[in-house]
Amino acid sequence: MKRIVIFASGSGTNAENIIRHFQDSTEASVVQVLSNKKDAKVLDRAKSLDVSAFSFNRVAFKEGHVLSLLEAMKPDLVVLAGFLWKMPEDIVKAFPNKIINVHPALLPKYGGKGMYGKHVHEAVVNNKEKESGITIHYVNEHYDEGAIIFQAKTNVEENDSVEDVAAKIHKLEYEHFPKVIAKLLNL
C-alpha cells in the first residue's frame, strides 16, 4: 500500500478531495494530514474521514521534529495542498522527488513567496491575463521553482472577478490533483 502524507494550512478542500479519491483504494491511502495551524479546518476534515491529523509549530518544523515524524511514516509521496510555509532543506533532501505542490497559476508566472490563493488570482485579474491554471510541481528549496510535473489551463474572461478565477482554479485542482498523484505513485 502506497502511503501519502498531506501538508495543508487552511480549509483543506483539496486535502479532502485527495483523501476521498484514495479512500476505497487497495493501492494507496492518505495516512497523515499535518498542518502548521492548530485551528485549520483541514484537521477537522481529515479526522471526519478517519485520517490521523495534527498540527505542529515552527520550532518542530525547523528543528527536525517534523522530518523525524516523516521518516518514521515512510511516505511514498508528500503532498502540499495549500501549505504556505517553505519546506526546510532537510526535508527536501530526505525526500527527493517525493514532495509535490499544487500552485494556482501557470508557473513560472505568479510564483514565489507570498503568491498563493487570492493573491495569485488578484494578480491574474489585475494583469488582464487571458488564461490561468494550475501547476503541479516537485518541491525544492525555493518557492515554486521545482520541476513542473503537470499544468492545466482555463480561460480568464474579461469580466471574470477574482472569485470567478478562484472557482475555475479549484475545479482544475479537484479534477487533476488526485489523478497526478495516482500517476506519480504508478497506480
Determine how β-strand 53-55 pairs with β-strand 28-35: parallel
What is the tens place of the pLDDT at every residue in 85-116? 999 999 999 999 999 999 999 999 999 999 99
Q: Rounded to two decimals, what is the model's pTM?
A: 0.96
Query: Average pLDDT, whole number, for the chain?
Result: 97
Give me the active site residues, please.
103
For residue 18, what are the domain limits?
2-184
What does the pLDDT read at residue 187?
83
In this structure, what CATH number is given to the domain that contains residue 35?
Answer: 3.40.50.170
Q: How many domains does the chain have?
A: 1
Spatial CB neighbours of 92, under 8 Å, sequence gap ≥ 6: 99, 139, 140, 141
Place of cell 526546510: 88
**CA angle in degrees (0–180, nearest 5) for 13-100-149:** 110
What does the pLDDT read at residue 48?
97
Arithmetic mean of pLDDT, 140-157 = 96
